[in-house]
Structure 1
Amino acid sequence: MNADQAVAPEPARRFSVRLREARNLGLVGVLAVLVLIGALTEPGQFLTTGTVVLVLTQASVIGVITVGMTFVIIGGGIDLSVGAVVALATVWATTRSTQQFGITGIVFTAVAVGVGCGLVSGLLIAYGRLVAFIGTLAMLASARGLAIQLSQGRTQTVTSSNQALVDLGYQDSYVLGIPPLVLIFAAVALVGWLVLNRTTFGRRTYAIGGNLEAARLAGINVKLHTCLLYVLSGLCCGIASVMLIILTSSGTSGNGNLYELDAIAAVIIGGTLLSGGRGTLVGSVLGVLVFTVISVLFTLNNLPTAVQQLAKGVIIVLAVLVQRRASLYSSERTTR
């Protein structure tokens, strides 16, 4: 048996596909209900082009991070450091010394910091045999601390010589009415979908998350692949940090606060199992949109942030309970 044969039997695979399709349709239904609620509660503000652009723009940064998180969780891991890595990348990329190299220097530094942090986490987890929770928690603390040290707790603004980067966030830079950040998110999501569903790398990610020992016996280099999953997550964090710099024109150690919660929550309600081995990027993207629409609805209705966080917590619990029930049902079907 080779690596690409380490997959579920055909009946189980067909049932899993049907289950994913039903779950995604359910998320589309949830989005439709949320839009209806917005139309009824704030018809003058919610059903506007400006609100649609706002939802898509707010979903873009966390959406790119969620793409990387989806790969990690499907592979049986978890990444708690994404928010802190984004903060460190924005701070490092907006220092005066970095900005002297222009926009290329800013973008390269942000992406390099993200990839570097992901590589360190991957090495600690894959080769140092640290539990993913502990390894990424250590990276969270280290990255946030380094960001504070580099910025001295101050906000670093993008200089006028690099204003062209910040201008991408303004309406004049929209392409056919679509913000560039949304196009970046769409491109990252599309590439991620292709890699996950049309390449050996994607098949091996599912195999490792489904049964690590079976994947190893099938010839997959589990350690290397696991390390690469965290590098991929770091790459997404680097891209997201560039997008955040465009949105805020600055870098600060406070960036990325609770991004890990939002990303993990979006992945979970999108149908990806926390235990790994099953999930879709389409579901994760829909999960991001659901949470973003909820946040916009709460803001338009002047509900406090605490209520938003409470609602997210309830949704996560419900999603996990539904997952567990679906997994049990799936196991019963495949064993008959």
Structure 2
Amino acid sequence: MTQPVSPPRGATDKAPPAGPRPAWSTVVFRADVRTLSLLGVLAALVVIGGITKPDEFLDTRNLQLVLTQASVIGVVTVGMTFVITSGGIDLSVGAIVALASVWATTVATQEYGFGGILFTAVLVGVGCGLVNGLLIAYGGMVPFIATLAMLASARGLALQITDGKTQIVTVDGILDLGERDAYVFGVPPLVLVFAAVTVIGWLVLNRTTFGRRTVAVGGNAEAARLAGIDVRRQRLYLYLLSGLCCGIAAFLLIILSGSGQNTNGNLYELDAIAAAIIGGTLLSGGRGTITGSVLGVLIFTTITNIFALNNLQSDVQQIAKGAIIVAAVLVQRRTASTT
């Protein structure tokens, strides 16, 4: 009679333990947690604004103002997110916005009407991005130095063009876009442009070969080169993209203010970098999120609005922003050390 075979020592009838969570699912999980956290912070700010100044903060006109103000720096931040994801940096975005806005509002340019102003703003932005890209990708310059030089040059040229004066826009087509009659179902045109740029940026970064190459270059440029990616050309394209976003932002700023000034875009580079960082984009490159960057922009814009409504000093506002940036970087370092 056949004896029953006993199971091997240590064997049980339980199901085998599940394997480790795939890397991609870990990234998605963390991204979801980060997005929910940012949404929670934004919701808390809305509650604070509603409690401190309920009539003013929750007014439809004020909420439209917050979104409108977020649109200009938001477009710049989308371009900045791509650059930082690739492991680069662009300190010249604010100066490029200023140069594009004053160049597009000169008397000679305004003679060509709406199309002339839009074309000039975009062309100047792309031109500056081209110079940055060539210096960094093919000239071998460090992004910090190259874009710092562009910052100084663009600011100086903007001051030379305006001679320190404000250039008033007289083109009706531009001025009309800033009026409430131009709103689409209560949404300002600037917000619609910002939304379109955000959607396009998200699709490009997450659903195209260009986006995957950007992440690869930021993660390990040498490995990307060995994999067949033209790293120098990719970096050139990224700074062109950043310049394009600056040109669009300059045009939006012209609509918003009805003028061009050499002081436009002041500290935009810091706000854009900060918004991208707190949104989850790694400053060292290799990971970027358009959704997080947009939420970061909305958080900073809401903080500014709440401080203004409560007549709080701007220095306290800057301290609050600095604390948020430090906290975001510490969280990033902690996350990176656990991977």
Shorter chain as denominator, the TM-score bin is: over 0.9
- Distance in 2 between the 1:314 and 1:307 partners? 11
Question: Percent of counterpart pairs with the same letter?
Answer: 68
Q: Deviations over 1:230-279 (max 9, x none)?
A: 00000000000000000111101010000011100100000000000012
Instruction: Select the residue among 200, 203, 227 that pairs with 2:236.
Output: 227
Provide the aligned C-alpha RMSD in A.
0.9
- Distance in 1 between the 2:289 and 2:211 partners? 11
CA displacement at 1:312 relative to structure 2: 1.1
Q: Deviations over 1:89-132 (max 9, x none)?
A: 00100011111111111100000000000010010001111111
Counterpart for residue 126 of structure 2: 115
- Secondary structure of 2:22's counterpart equals helix
Q: How does 1:13-28 map to 2 (within 5 A)?
A: 13-28=24-39
Counterpart for residue 3 of structure 1: none
Q: TM-score, normalised by structure 1?
A: 0.94
Q: Which moved more, 1:10-19 or 1:111-120?
A: 10-19
CA displacement at 1:216 relative to structure 2: 0.4
CA displacement at 1:80 relative to structure 2: 0.4
- Distance in 2 between the 1:204 and 1:69 partners? 16
**1:36 and 2:47 correspond:** yes
**1:256 and 2:265 correspond:** yes
- Secondary structure of 1:209's counterpart equals helix
Listed as ranges, the gaps of 5+ residues in structure 2 are 1-20
- Distance in 1 between the 2:130 and 2:76 partners? 16
The count of aligned residue pairs is 319
Counterpart for residue 11 of structure 2: none
**1:148 and 2:132 correspond:** no
Q: How does 1:50-69 map to 2 (within 5 A)?
A: 50-69=61-80
CA displacement at 1:11 relative to structure 2: 2.2
- Secondary structure of 1:317's counterpart equals helix
CA displacement at 1:13 relative to structure 2: 2.2
- Distance in 1 between the 2:25 and 2:159 partners? 49
Q: How does 1:53-132 map to 2 (within 5 A)?
A: 53-132=64-143
- Distance in 1 between the 2:112 and 2:189 partners? 23
**1:138 and 2:149 correspond:** yes
Structure with greater helix share of residues: 1
CA displacement at 1:54 relative to structure 2: 1.1
Equivalent residue letter for 1:188 = V
CA displacement at 1:227 relative to structure 2: 0.7
Equivalent residue letter for 1:105 = G
- Distance in 1 between the 2:169 and 2:66 partners? 25
Instruction: Select the residue among 273, 279, 282 that pairs with 2:282.
Output: 273
Instruction: Select the residue among 212, 234, 238 that pairs with 2:221.
Output: 212
Instruction: Select the residue among 282, 285, 291 that pairs with 1:282.
Output: 291
Counterpart for residue 197 of structure 1: 206
**1:312 and 2:321 correspond:** yes
Listed as ranges, the gaps of 5+ residues in structure 1 are 1-9, 331-336
- Distance in 1 between the 2:296 and 2:97 partners? 20
Q: Deviations over 1:254-306 (max 9, x none)?
A: 10000011100100000000000012100000000000111001011101112
- Secondary structure of 2:122's counterpart equals helix
- Distance in 1 between the 2:245 and 2:318 partners? 24
Question: Which one has the largest radius of gyration?
Answer: 2
Q: TM-score, normalised by structure 2?
A: 0.93
- Secondary structure of 1:129's counterpart equals coil
Moved over 6 A (4+): none
